[in-house]
Amino acid sequence: MFLVFIFLLFIIWPNLLLEAAASQGGHNIYRPPQSVRQHVFVREEFRYLNVPRIGSYTVDNSIDCVFKCLSHTSCFSVNLAASRGMDGKFWCELLPSDKYRNSTELLGNKSSHHFVIKSPCSSSPCKNEGTCVPSYKNGIFECLCKKGFIGEFCEKGFKSCKDAYNSYKSNASELVTLHFGAKTTSVLCQMGDFGCGDGGWTPVMKIDGNKNTFLFSSGYWTDKSEFNPSGGTTSFDSQETKLPTYWNTPFSKVCLGMKVNGQLRFTVINSQASSLHSLIADGQYRSTSLGRNKWIALTDSKASLQPNCNKEGFDTQTIHRRARVGILGNNENDCRTCDSAIGFGVDNRACGDLSSIRAMCYILVQ
C-alpha cells in the first residue's frame, strides 16, 4: 500500500513528495493536486469521529477512501476500518464535519482510524477552550470563544462588565467572571440603564453607612485588598464589599448610588481613570462638578449640607471635614470650618451625610 502511495505522489506532483518525506512513517495521505483543491490528510490512529455520515463504501485501501472524500464537496474527514473485512476490503465512511467542530465526538476505537484534512485549526490556535472553525477553501479559521473570553484567538478574558456587555449585547444583568492577570473574580454585572445610563456597569464597592468598614480613615481606600468579595455577586442589597475592580478596572464614568429609606437613587460622574484606586489612594484632591443639588438628591433630599464651600470630588478635604467621594458644606462663607458633608467614606460616616442619613451605598464604573 505504501508503494502505491509513493508512486501516486511521484508521478503526480514531486512537491508533495517532499511533504510526504517530512511526515512520519508515511501515515499522512496526500491527494494529488486537482485544480485548487489541494489537501493533506492527517491520520488519527484508532479513533472514530461519531457524526452522521454522508456516504459509506468499501475500499481497497486508505487512499481510495480519502479520494472518495475529496471528490465529495461536503466531505471533510473519513472513518476507515483499521483492518480488512471478510471480503478483503476496508469500510470507509465519508463525514460532513471534522474533529475541530466536534471535538467531543472523536472517540477512541480499536477497529478504525480517522483521517481529517489538515486545516488551519491543526495547530490549535484558539485559546481557553475556544472552538476552531476552519475554512478549508481559503485556509483561514475562526475561533468561537467560550463564554467569558474574547479576542481573535479567545486569548482575552473579560476585564470589565463593559467587555461582557459588548460581547453579549444584552441588558440582562448577570454573573460574569472577570480576569485580572491570573486572578479571576466573579461579579454581578449590572447591564443597561438602572439609573446611570446604558452599558455594562462593573461593581466596585458596596458601603453600609451604619458600619465603620469604609470610614474615611479606613485602609481599604488606599490599599489593594478586597473585602467580602461575595458581596460583589449580589445586587443592590446590604452586603458590603470591596472588589479587585477597585484597583484593576479603568473607566470613564463612575456611578454613585445611595439607598435611603429603601429608595435607591443614582448619579453619574464623568471621570476618566485607570482605576478608582488611582483616583483616591494617593490622597490628592480631584474635583468633580455635579453641583450640590445632585449630591443632595442622591439622598432622600433631606440631607444636611450647609450652603457654602461646596467643595466636591475625590479626596475632598478641608481642615475639619474629609470625604473620599463627596461634597463638603460650611455655614461661613469659606471652606475652613466645614461642618457638613454628603458622600462616601466621610470622616465618621461611611456613607450618607453627617447628620442623620446613614445610606447603603454603591459604586460602579464603566
Taking the CB of residue 181, how many other CB atoms lie within 10 A of it?
A: 9
> Which segment (56-64, 73-81, 92-100, 334-342) binds Ca ion by CB under 5 A?
334-342
Taking the least distance from each CB to Ca ion, the nearer of 212 and 331 is: 331
Which residues, numbered 135-174, are part of the site for Ca ion (CB under 5 A)?
A: none
> Which segment (39-47, 135-143, 222-230, 325-333) binds Ca ion by CB under 5 A?
325-333
Can you tell me the distance from the alpha carbon of 240 to that of 329, in angstroms, rounded to the nearest whole number? 27
Minimum Å distance from CB 227 to Ca ion? 33
Minimum Å distance from CB 366 to Ca ion? 36
Q: Which of 245, 330, 340, 366 binds Ca ion (CB under 5 A)?
A: 330
Taking the least distance from each CB to Ca ion, the nearer of 101 and 320 is: 320
Q: Are 246 and 276 in contact (CB under 8 A)?
A: yes
Minimum Å distance from CB 328 to Ca ion? 10
Minimum Å distance from CB 352 to Ca ion? 19
Q: Which of 71, 170, 289, 331 binds Ca ion (CB under 5 A)?
A: 331
DSSP sequence for 217-265: T-GGGTS---B-GGGGGS-SSS--EE-THHHH--EEEEEEEEEETTEEE
User: What does the block give as the cell for 364?
Assistant: 460602579
Which residues, numbered 337-366, are part of the site for Ca ion (CB under 5 A)?
A: 337, 339
What residue has cell string 511526515?
Answer: 23
Q: Are 96 and 52 in contact (CB under 8 A)?
A: yes
Can you tell me the distance from the alpha carbon of 153 to that of 131, in angstroms, rounded to the nearest whole number? 10
What residue has cell string 481529517?
Answer: 116
Taking the least distance from each CB to Ca ion, the nearer of 171 and 304 is: 304
> Which segment (235-243, 289-297, 311-319, 336-344) binds Ca ion by CB under 5 A?
336-344
> Which segment (169-177, 215-223, 246-254, 335-343) binds Ca ion by CB under 5 A?
335-343
Can you tell me the distance from the alpha carbon of 83 to that of 111, in angstroms, rounded to the nearest whole number? 7
* Secondary structure of 64-91 as H, E, C letters: HHHHHHHCCCCCCEEEEECCCCCCCCEE
Can you tell me the distance from the alpha carbon of 121 to that of 69, in angstroms, rounded to the nearest whole number? 19
Taking the least distance from each CB to Ca ion, the nearer of 142 and 339 is: 339
Which residues, numbered 44-103, are part of the site for Ca ion (CB under 5 A)?
A: none
Taking the least distance from each CB to Ca ion, the nearer of 172 and 319 is: 319
In the complex, which residues of this chain contact Ca ion (CB under 5 A)?
330-331, 337, 339
